[in-house]
């Protein structure tokens, strides 16, 4: 399987995402924001960072990049697409996911190993988890507060489209502790924490077993591979 990772001006975690793709057993494909060609990839990752300097709104300019025309088209046709942090903001700005992300309610940038609860295991990126499973994924954001209209939140909750929820502490004020959501089809997922930073022993969050041994993030990428193989 070939999974593309798109680099935008200001991307910081594109190489980490590509390394995660390789750790999961797929071929990583580097894509550029100015391209109009997805190079025949089977899935896409929009990585974290500060695309275009976060001008206007985080992800707003990136959502209008040339390659996003191809991303929207591929997503609407069912291709698995994962937006991480800034990538989540892009997917919201591109209307591939509902709601939006605004400045953290405490007004400060935050970085921590974040406990999450898996709410939806029926997506292309979460099928390897079990419902209610608790995982630990690194988090780092300044504009991570998830907001949406009351009607949208009610629909997301009612349809089971909240993919992940913050546990222990809500780090940014997100409504209903929402850390990630999915589209109706389940092929597009966005989340604020960074699974690509928890895919290899020695580089992930601390666990009870050992320091830096957390690899909960790897399941995002192996889930996508499993979904593609089953399609």
Catalytic: 115? no
Q: Cα 196 to the chain's mean position, in Å? A: 9
Nearest to 88 by CA among 14, 18, 11, 188: 188
Catalytic residue among 85, 115, 143, 145, which? 85
Question: 122 Cβ partners below 8 Å, 6+ apart?
Answer: 160, 186
Catalytic residue among 58, 70, 115, 194, which? 194
8-state DSSP, 11? B
Nearest to 32 by CA among 61, 74, 4: 4
Catalytic: 196? yes
Q: Where are the beta strands (DSSP E) in 11-121?
A: 27-32, 43-46, 81-84, 100-102, 110-118
Catalytic: 143? no
Concatenating the DSSP letter of every residue in 161-172 gives -EEEEE-S--SS
Catalytic residue among 70, 119, 196, 197, which? 196
8-state DSSP, 52? G
| β partners of residue 98 | none
Q: Cα 74 to the chain's mean position, in Å? A: 17
Taking CA 64 as the corner, what is the angle to CA 74 and CA 107, rounded to the nearest 5 degrees? 110
**Which residues does the annotation mark as catalytic?**
85, 194, 196
């Amino acid at each position: 399987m070939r999974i593309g990772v798109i680099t935008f001006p200001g991307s910081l975690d594109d190489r980490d995402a590509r390394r995660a793709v390789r750790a999961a057993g797929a071929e990583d494909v580097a894509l550029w924001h100015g391209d109009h060609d997805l190079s025949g990839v089977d899935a896409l990752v929009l990585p974290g960072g500060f695309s275009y300097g976060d001008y206007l709104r985080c992800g707003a300019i990136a959502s209008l990049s040339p390659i996003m025309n191809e991303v929207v088209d591929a997503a609407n046709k069912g291709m698995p697409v994962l937006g991480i942090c800034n990538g989540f903001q892009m997917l919201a700005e591109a209307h591939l996911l509902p709601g939006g992300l605004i400045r953290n309610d405490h007004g400060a940038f935050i970085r921590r190993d974040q406990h999450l609860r898996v709410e939806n295991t029926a997506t292309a990126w979460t099928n390897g988890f079990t419902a209610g499973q608790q995982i630990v994924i690194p988090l780092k954001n300044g504009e991570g507060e998830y907001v949406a209209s009351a009607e949208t939140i009610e629909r997301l909750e009612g349809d089971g489209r909240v993919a992940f929820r913050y546990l222990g502490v809500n780090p940014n004020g997100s409504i209903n502790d929402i850390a990630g959501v999915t589209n109706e089809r389940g092929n597009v997922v966005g989340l604020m924490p960074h699974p690509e930073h928890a895919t290899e022993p020695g580089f992930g969050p601390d666990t009870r077993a050992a320091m830096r041994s957390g690899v909960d993030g790897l399941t995002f990428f192996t889930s996508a591979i499993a979904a593609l193989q089953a399609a």
